[in-house]
Amino acid sequence: MALTKEVSADKIEVVTTTEGTVVQVRTATKVLEDGEVISSSYHRHVINSGDDYSSEPTNVQAVCSAVFS
């Protein structure tokens, strides 16, 4: 019985609002037992133009670079 935890940015959305364009990121946290998901949870956060996104995963950084450049 091996328990593992996976955290990934599984959804990246570019949203245009009246205030400007933002990037919404959904992070999925999954707990697996022998490769089968036994628990999962989600967290969302928004990245605005001018925010520091250097600690985000590379796929999120790439989207932010394209949107905010």
Mean pLDDT of the chain: 96
Three-class secondary structure of residue 66 per DSSP: helix
pLDDT tens-digit profile of 7-52? 999 999 999 989 899 999 999 999 999 999 999 999 999 999 999 9
- The percentage of residues in the chain with a pLDDT greater than 90, rounded to a whole number, is 94
At residue 63, does pLDDT exceed 90?
yes
Output the CA angle 38-26-34, nearest 5 degrees. 20
pTM: 0.85
What is the distance between the alpha carbons of residues 1 and 25, in angstroms, rounded to a whole number?
32
pLDDT of residue 35: 92
pLDDT of residue 24: 98
